[in-house]
Amino acid sequence: MSDNNPTIFGKILRGEIPSTRVWEDDQCIAFRDVNPVAPTHVLVIPRRHIATLNNATSDDKPLLGHLMWVATQIAAQLGVAEDGYRVVMNVGPGGGQTVFHIHLHIIAGRPLVWPPG
C-alpha cells in the first residue's frame, strides 16, 4: 500500500477514516459504501494505489482479476449471488469516477435496470 495516497481510500486503508469492512486480504479490502445506492453496496479497493483503470499496466492483470474474484466471493458471502448483482468500475470523470483510486462497486438488493445512469 502506498502511504502517500491522498484519496479518501488511502485514508481508509491507513485507518485514518473508519469503514465497515466485509473483506480483507493482502491485495485488497472491501467495505460498505457510506452513500449506498442499493441495500447492498460494497466497494472493493486494491491496497496499491492505481488512479484509474487507464493507469493499470500489464503487471496489474493479476490484481485486476483478483478484484473481480473477490467481488464474487463477497456476493456469495452477503447472500446476493444467486439473485444477481452488478459490478461496476467507473473510469475517469466522464465515466462517473469521483475517487481516483480504482475500485469496484458491488450493487444488489433491488431491481437494477439497463441502461444504468
Question: Which range has the worst mean pLDDT, 2-16, 45-59, 74-88?
Answer: 2-16
49 catalytic? Reply is no
Domains and CATH numbers, the chain: 8-108 (3.30.428.10)
* pLDDT score for 1: 46
What's the confidence (pLDDT) of residue 116? 83
| Per-residue pLDDT tens digits for 57-114 | 999 999 999 999 999 999 999 999 999 999 999 999 999 999 999 999 999 999 999 9
72-78, long-range: CB < 8 A, 24+ apart: 73/23, 74/22, 74/23, 74/30, 74/42, 74/44, 74/106, 75/106, 75/108, 77/22, 77/23, 78/22, 78/40, 78/42, 78/108
Q: Please pick, among 49, 101, 103, 105, the residue that the annotation labels catalytic.
A: 103
pLDDT in tens, 25-40: 999 999 999 999 999 9
